[in-house]
Structure 1
Amino acid sequence: MDQVQKPAVRRAVCPGSYDPITLGHLDVITRAAGLFDEVLVAVGINPDKRGRFTGAERVQLITESCRELPNVAAIEFTGLLVDLCVDREIGTIVKGVRTAADSTYEFPMAQMNRRLKGIDTILVPSAPEWSFVSSSLVREIAGHGGDVTPFVPQPVAERLA
C-alpha cells in the first residue's frame, strides 16, 4: 500500500532590529503567520549599535505582542541571516516594505540571499495605515514624551511610558 507523503513544514523568518516592534511589524508578522506553518521573528543584534532595548528585551516584547499567534516564536541572532535560515531549515524570508525606497534596498539583498544559499524572499507591502510608522520615529516620539500607543503593541507602549 502506498503511503501518503506529508507536505514539508513551511517555515519563514521575519528578520529585523525591532527596536521596538511596531504595529506595522506586527501586521507583517501576522500575515506571514497566516501563510506559513512556523514563523521565526529573528531579532538582529549588531554589537556596534546600542539600541533602546536590549536584544533580550526585544525578544520578550515580540513574544508578548505575538502571544495570540501560536506559530510565531522570536529569537536573537548575529551573523548572516541566510546561515540562520540554513541552520533552522527555513526556506523563506518575509520582509515588510513601506516605500519604493525600501524595495530598492531589499531587492538586491533578496537576490544575494537567493544566490548565497537558495533562500527565497517575499516582500510584503505594508498596510497603508502603517506605511509611515518606523521604530526610529516611535523612539523619537517616546523620547519627547509623546503618545506612541497608536503605533505600537500594548506591551511596547507600557515599556515606553
Structure 2
Amino acid sequence: MKTSLNKRIAIFPGTFDPFTIGHMSLVERALNMLDEIVIAIGVNEAKSQYFSVDERVRMLEDLFRSNPRVKVLSYNCLTVDLARQCHAGFILRGIRSVNDFEYEKTIADVNRKISGVETLVLFTEPEHTHISSTIVRELLRYGRSVDEFLPDGLVLSR
C-alpha cells in the first residue's frame, strides 16, 4: 500500500473560469500516470472573473465527487509552495500552442530550480486546441450556449 509520501501527486493549477473539456481531457489522461491530482484554483485578483473562486471550487468538487483521486482547492501562494503542502512532486500543465510552450517552459525551469518540483506537460488534443476559458467566458457574457465546451456533468452555478 502506498503512503501519501510515495504517491505520484500533481498539482494542476489554473483559474479554471470555467473548467473546459480541454481541462477535463488533461485530468483524465494524467490520471493514467498519476495517483492523485489536486486541481488548484489560483486566486488572481488581477484577472477578470466570471465565477467566484468559491463557485469554481464547488462546481469542480461536484464534477469530481465520485473520483477520490481528484481533489479540488483554492490557493493564494506560489504553486511550488502549494505542491510542498500537498506532498506533490509534479505540476501538471497543458500546452495548446507554441506560445504556451515558451511560457510554460520558463515557469517550469524556475519552479524546478527553486523547489525541485517537476512539471509534467501534456499537449492538448487537436480537437480542443481552440477552446479556452477566456473564449467560453466571452460566450457566456453574451448569453451564448457553451455546453459543447464544458465537460459532461459540470453544472455552472449561474
Any conservation in 1 of the 2:55–2:157 contact (CA below 8 Å)? no
Structure 1 position 41 matched with structure 2 position 39: yes
Give the residue type in structure 2 aligned to 1:150: E
What's the counterpart of residue 95 of structure 1?
Answer: 93
Distance 2:43 2:9 in 1: 21
Q: CA RMSD in A?
A: 2.1
Any conservation in 2 of the 1:96–1:123 contact (CA below 8 Å)? yes
Distance 1:5 1:100 in 2: 37
Distance 1:18 1:134 in 2: 9
Distance 1:150 1:5 in 2: 38
After TM superposition, the score normalised by the length of structure 1 is 0.89
Among candidates 135, 138, 143, match of residue 136 of structure 2: 138
- Structure 1 residue runs of 5 or longer lacking an equivalent are none
What's the counterpart of residue 14 of structure 2?
Answer: 16
Distance 2:150 2:6 in 1: 34
Paired-residue identity, %: 32
Aligned to 1:150, what secondary structure does the other structure show?
helix
The structure that has the greater radius of gyration is 1
Larger fraction in helix: 1
Any conservation in 2 of the 1:19–1:53 contact (CA below 8 Å)? yes
What's the counterpart of residue 71 of structure 1?
Answer: 69
Distance 1:61 1:158 in 2: 7
Residues 1:5 and 1:52: Cα distance change in structure 2 (over 3 Å): closer
Structure 1 position 29 matched with structure 2 position 24: no
Distance 2:113 2:59 in 1: 33
- Structure 2 residue runs of 5 or longer lacking an equivalent are none
After the TM superposition, which of the residue ranges 7-16 and 75-84 deviates more from structure 2? 7-16
Residue by residue over 1:39-92, the C-alpha shift from the partner in whole angstroms, topping out at 9 and shown as x without a partner, is 100000013334111111111111222234330010000110000111211110
